[in-house]
Amino acid sequence: MPPTDHHGSFLNRISIRRNQITNMDVNHEQELEELELFQKHVTDRFMQLLQQNQTQETTETRAQAQSQLLSISWFQKLLDTYLCCESEFKAVLIINRDASCFSKAPLDRLLPDHLDRTVKALDICNAITHGIELVRHWSRLAQIAVDALEQRPIVEGHVRRAKRALNTLLTSMMVDEKENSQLVGKSAERMWSIGRRGAAGPTTVNHNQKFMTRSFSTCVSKSWSASKQIQAMSTNLVAPRGGEPTGLALPVYIMSSILVFVMWTLVAAVPSPERAGLGAHFQLPRNLTWAHPVIGLQDKIGEEWKKKEKKGTAGLLVEIQVIEKVASSLVEFADGFEFPVGDEKADEVAGQVAELADICRKMEDGLGPLQLQVRELFHRMVRSRAEVLDVMDQVGKINTSVLY
């Protein structure tokens, strides 16, 4: 080959290599930008939830501020926040991504761990839907008492009817959570379980299929513990080190962390089997910017949990706390009832009945949509897992193909 031809060929190879490096640099910069944007959005969304509560604390009493933090409406916003983060995470993880990176360290370890946490979260969603159904039952009992005590004049028959309903309500709040869960389990299963009709997506996922089996469960077993489930989800949840934060390891860690936080919060608020020691299970590193608002919320909820856990509680949901407080007071009134009721006592009881009626309305309006959100969360996690498993399965087939 003449020298000029050799020289031209060499320059062509250098030019191609430079173009490849430039494209790699552009892709790397784009990836860093996407990851930074994802972290910023997670930070902003959870900061919004935290700042909303802090604003309430400066303008209202602490009890009212706590009501804002743990009310049904707040949990609706929390689930909306998580679903937004989950959609963006899936886009960062899959769209325009070289799937071969899923089989390389550290994703080959982190992704299966994250998918396993998702399976555990599906069990928690099942338990939470049963718990919400139980809370709706409590609301109906409270409404019976409201209807009876709104009658004028209040006579002994009205008081007896209200007392029976309120005693049933308070007894249900105090009994073992597993018994309550079994009580409402059948109706909740009929309404919310996805059954075995294949909502989980692709079924041919070879060795990854074991991660999908429990996602079809319609209810939790008698030995199931919400507290142990949260503990299992937080196992091996470690922040990336070294060069990993610049890659996909960081968004996987972020998504796993906020998944555990959301499940932990739901378990603390809604009646679930075996929640003892819940406050000690989950900690986030305080040196990460995106984690600051999550830790702020966690600290506030953790304080409330530790106070309520010592006394025993049916859940931190504000509406539950109000029903329990007002119901106890009205039972005391019923125990000492004498006809006719004095004007002062009648006004006091009327105020308590009005408060209970207001909470019943809020629960009637809010619990159905909240249950639907938990159901949407369940199905979203099933679909997302199926999509990730499908990509991992394709990578596995490529890696095991015969080379000629």
Give tens-digit pLDDT for 321-377: 999 999 999 999 999 888 888 888 999 999 999 999 999 999 999 999 999 999 999
Interval 4-45: pLDDT, tens:
554 454 445 434 444 443 444 446 677 788 889 999 999 999
Separation CA 303–CA 296 (nearest Å): 11
Q: How confident is the model at residue 52 (pLDDT cuts 50, 70, 90)?
A: confident
For the record, the structure tokens of 161 come out as 């009817």
Question: Would you state the pLDDT for residue 100?
Answer: 78
C-alpha torsion angle, residues 263, 303, 184, 216 (rounded to 10)? 10
Q: Which of 345, 362, 361, 350 is nearest to 326 (CA)?
A: 350
Q: Report helix angle 156-174 to 107-149, nearest 10.
A: 160
Separation CA 273–CA 293 (nearest Å): 28
Quick one: average pLDDT of 78-90? Answer: 95
Place of tokens 């209040």: 154
Separation CA 316–CA 74 (nearest Å): 12
Residues 6 or more apart whose CB falls under 8 angstroms from that of 55 comprise none
Question: Would you state the pLDDT for residue 56?
Answer: 53
pTM for this prediction? 0.81
Q: Which of the residue ranges 11-20, 44-53, 60-69, 257-266 would you say has the lowest mean pLDDT?
A: 11-20
Q: Which of 294, 289, 229, 255 is nearest to 111 (CA)?
A: 255
Residues 6 or more apart whose CB falls under 8 angstroms from that of 75 comprise 265, 266, 269, 317, 370
Separation CA 317–CA 269 (nearest Å): 5
Query: Within 10 Å of residue 212's Cβ, how many Cβ atoms?
Result: 21
Separation CA 266–CA 260 (nearest Å): 10
DSSP 247: T
- Which of left, alpha, beta for 238 (phi over 0: left; psi -120 to 50: alpha)? beta
DSSP 366: H
Separation CA 281–CA 263 (nearest Å): 12
Question: Would you state the pLDDT for residue 189?
Answer: 41
DSSP 299: H
Interval 177-203: pLDDT, tens:
555 555 444 433 433 333 333 333 333
Question: Is 238 in a helix, a strand, or coil?
Answer: coil
Query: Within 10 Å of residue 178's Cβ, how many Cβ atoms?
Result: 18
Residues 6 or more apart whose CB falls under 8 angstroms from that of 91 comprise none
Question: What is the chain's mean pLDDT, rounded?
Answer: 79
Separation CA 375–CA 357 (nearest Å): 27
% the chain with pLDDT above 90: 50
